[in-house]
Amino acid sequence: MDYKAPVESYSGSVREVTIGQGSKAVKIGGESKLAYNFFDEGSIPNPPRFALEVRDTEPDNWAPWVLEPYKDVVSDPVKWAQKCVEYGAEMVCLRLASTDPVGKDASPKEAAEAVKKVADAVSVPLIVYGSGDDKKDAEVLPEVAATCSGQNLLLGPALKENYEVIAKAAQEHGHTVIAQTPLDINLMKELNIKLSKTFPPERVVIDPLSSGLGYGMEYSFTIMERTKHTGVMFKDAMTQMPIIADLAEECWKTKEAKASKEQGILWESMTALSLLLAGANIVVLRHPETLGLVREILKQE
């Protein structure tokens, strides 16, 4: 008797979310099976997307081998973003580090103008992360939303402390929102429930926080995996949003990644591959060689 492998079938699916507008538009999510589970029925209509990270101000604490691919452009976020596209990024992730209140504390207007220049200069969708300070981001991200009205940026992080003002601006100006919670599926669902009362859930991407390899990455993996299981297998509407794994900074700040270029690239690559297996729909990377290595490995599947 021939062996026939059992095939699982699920009733749920991840919402399909579009980021960008017109020729820049990219779709993520939409899958009705678990990531890389070839014994499931269902489909994965949109593959995971890769973003490379850009800062709106020159970083002063990056290892030299991380800066080297961008050495001629790190003082200009527009040229830096264009370089990322040349390296093959399907999205650019612009981090507004200059707005950090304990740093340069740039104004919302300054930040919004910088985002507009980058958004207009690249041919791929733009992800925009604020500084992570909930009060400052509540000022900065609505200004960004208004200045880039109609471009459908992916804006975040929207936290429990500031999601209302960010979501309101995003809805008024046609953007998508990153809902971020700290590695807890119950807090994630709670924020998504609140957000979905006034904001379309099909324009929400989940950021459950991502840890680097060896620094709690297994916790990140578990939360992402549980989120996908709950959404796809059990049709929980509040876990059916796509997931972004913003892992670059967490990987490159480790002592192992700072020790050598080769080790850093492997550290970032292994973290990215692990979180892709957990179900990440967008992966934010820092080194272009990581992007090439991960893509090469995925070709072997």
pTM above 0.85, yes or no: yes
Q: For 88-142, how does the pLDDT look when each residue is reduced to its tens digit (9 = 90+)?
A: 999 999 999 999 999 999 999 999 999 999 999 999 999 999 999 999 999 999 9
- pLDDT-derived band at 27 (thresholds 50, 70, 90) equals very high
C-beta of residue 98 within 8 angstroms of C-beta of residue 140: no
In a domain, 219, yes or no: yes
In a domain, 10, yes or no: no
Q: Which residue has the tokens 């399907």?
A: 90
Q: Which residue has the tokens 């429990």?
A: 160
In a domain, 181, yes or no: yes
**Residue 128, strand partner residues:** 94, 155
Q: Which residue has the tokens 């009733």?
A: 11
- Domain encompassing residue 201: 16-23+48-299
Report the C-alpha gap between 59 and 38 in whole angstroms: 41
Q: For 248-281, how does the pLDDT look when each residue is reduced to its tens digit (9 = 90+)?
A: 999 999 999 999 999 999 999 999 999 999 999 9
In a domain, 163, yes or no: yes
In sequence order, the 6+-apart residues with CB closer than 8 A to the CB of 114 are: 56, 77, 94, 96, 98
In a domain, 6, yes or no: no
In a domain, 9, yes or no: no
Give the total number of structural domains in the chain.
1
In a domain, 11, yes or no: no
The CATH number of the domain holding residue 118 is: 3.20.20.20
Amino acid (one-letter) located at 121: A
In a domain, 4, yes or no: no
Rounded average pLDDT over 271-295: 98
Rounded average pLDDT over 182-194: 96
Per-residue pLDDT at 301 exceeds 70: no
Q: For 28-74, how does the pLDDT look when each residue is reduced to its tens digit (9 = 90+)?
A: 999 999 998 877 789 999 999 999 999 999 998 899 999 999 999 99
